[in-house]
Amino acid sequence: MNYIIMDLEWNQSSTGRDEASKILPFEIIEIGAIKLNSERKMVDEFSELVKPNVYHSMHRVTKKLIHLQMEQLEQGRPFTEVMEQFREWCGSDYIFCTWGPLDLTELQRNIRYYDMQPLSDAPIRFLDVQKLFSIAYEDRKSRRTLEYAIDYLSIEKDIPFHRAFSDAYYAAKVLACMNEEVLANYSFDVFHLPKDKESEIFVTFDTYAKYISRAFADKAEALKDKTVMSTKCYLCDRKLRRKIGWFSPNGKHYYSVSYCDKHGYMKAKIRIRKAEDGSAYIVKTEKFITDADVEQIRDKQDKAKQQKKGRRVSKAKNRSRRAQSEAAPADAVSS
């Protein structure tokens, strides 16, 4: 299997108010990639400019960041031609690798815009090299810039940053430095969600488990689903009794804590996401935590309850004021 380390540059509307920006918010203007073989040695490269078709003026941020002129892009080839060449160059046995989670989504959005054959009709497994860097060298949570990683690993800076090919080149250098075990922490691009319940994603990593649901009509429907709300031990598959029931501090993230007699306390976190078509889907993560972590979550639950109570009191006061205001003219006439 080969590793395709890909980077994209894209342009966008200067106003954000035109119709095209709703359908294609980011138009790809450059594709750069490095191909590594199974031993993570560089074996080939890809670099192409894409002729603009949607946005014919350069957004100021794009122009400042990547130092490309429209005159240069006009010498490129249409996206459909470049994409077909890129797809052929990738081959048949590979995994995409990107710095951060955005490139694959935007690539698929551009493919859909031109009504081309999709890369997949399901979630795509890929390696987020930015995340892997954090797992390998830092705290698993931080997300550093590519240049920071290059400096951290003392990799020679022999070409400029902030062009598609150069950023793919440096990301490949970072990937080549990592231990094989780190690469097991793959990610999923969910531009296309699981089609049905049978194709939903359940995967266990070294320190946590992840579940990605199919699409639901809305948040309410998702939160009624048994699989979404269940808490099983992902190590021994036992149904667990919740010690802290599901609660949400913000209406977007939901937390609970369950207990496994064999493995201890397990935290579950639900994130509600919006799909491309406006439907809702769920990303649930589960991991085992310490007693101190449990108390922190309990404190978070108490604060959420207090905030909810405060909002109820505030709404009741507002209703009372409105009722008094509406009644005031009638009282004045009767007096």
Q: Which CATH number is 32's domain given? A: 3.30.420.10
pLDDT at 151 over 90: yes
pLDDT one-digit tens code per residue, 9-62: 999 887 766 777 788 999 999 999 999 999 999 999 999 999 999 988 888 778
Beta bridge partners of 142: none
Tell me whether residue 309 is in a domain: no
Question: Would you call 248 helix, strand, or coil by DSSP?
Answer: coil
pLDDT one-digit tens code per residue, 131-141: 999 999 999 99
Which DSSP symbol is given to 301?
Answer: H
- In terms of domains, do 164 and 278 share one? no
Helices (H), the chain: 20-23, 60-66, 70-73, 79-90, 103-113, 129-137, 146-152, 164-176, 219-222, 226-229, 291-334
- In terms of domains, do 30 and 172 share one? yes
Question: How much is the pLDDT for 204?
Answer: 96
Tell me whether residue 302 is in a domain: no
CA distances, 157 to each of 148, 166, 173 (Å): 11, 10, 11
Checking DSSP bridges between strand 264-274 and strand 280-288, what pairing results, if any? antiparallel
- In terms of domains, do 239 and 282 share one? yes
Question: How much is the pLDDT for 181?
Answer: 96
Sheet strands side by side (includes 209-212): 201-204, 209-212, 280-288, 264-274, 253-260, 241-247
- Crossing angle between the packed helical segments 79-90 and 103-113, to the nearest 10 degrees: 130
Number of H helices, E strands in the chain: 11, 12
Tell me whether residue 284 is in a domain: yes
pLDDT one-digit tens code per residue, 164-188: 999 999 999 999 999 999 999 999 9
**Whole-angstrom distance, CA of residue 109 vs CA of residue 77:** 18
- In terms of domains, do 88 and 201 share one? no
Total domain count, the chain: 2
pLDDT at 329 over 60: no
- In terms of domains, do 154 and 133 share one? yes
Tell me whether residue 62 is in a domain: yes
- Structure tokens given for 237: 């598959």
- In terms of domains, do 210 and 291 share one? yes
Checking DSSP bridges between strand 209-212 and strand 280-288, what pairing results, if any? antiparallel
Q: Please give the residue range of the domain that contains residue 120.
A: 2-188
- In terms of domains, do 229 and 116 share one? no
Tell me whether residue 332 is in a domain: no
Query: Is the Cα dihedral 96, 101, 107, 112 positive or negative?
Result: positive
Report DSSP letters for 75-111, one per residue: TSB-HHHHHHHHHHHH-SSEEEEESSSSHHHHHHHHH
Domain boundary among 143, 166, 188: 188
- In terms of domains, do 231 and 268 share one? yes
Contacts of residue 112, defined as CB under 8 A and 6 or more positions apart, other chains included, come to 118
Could you tell me if 46 and 32 are in contact, meaning their C-beta atoms sit under 8 angstroms apart? yes
Domain boundary among 161, 188, 215: 188
CA distances, 2 to each of 41, 43, 85, 182 (Å): 10, 9, 17, 17
Residue with tokens 């804590």: 257
Tell me whether residue 176 is in a domain: yes
Nearest to 289 by CA among 207, 189, 215, 231: 207
- In terms of domains, do 12 and 61 share one? yes
pTM of the model: 0.87
- In terms of domains, do 104 and 222 share one? no
Could you tell me if 169 and 34 are in contact, meaning their C-beta atoms sit under 8 angstroms apart? yes
Domain boundary among 155, 172, 188: 188
- In terms of domains, do 165 and 287 share one? no
pLDDT one-digit tens code per residue, 221-248: 999 999 999 999 999 999 999 999 999 9
Tell me whether residue 54 is in a domain: yes
- In terms of domains, do 150 and 205 share one? no
Tell me whether residue 315 is in a domain: no
Cα 116 from chain centroid?
Answer: 23
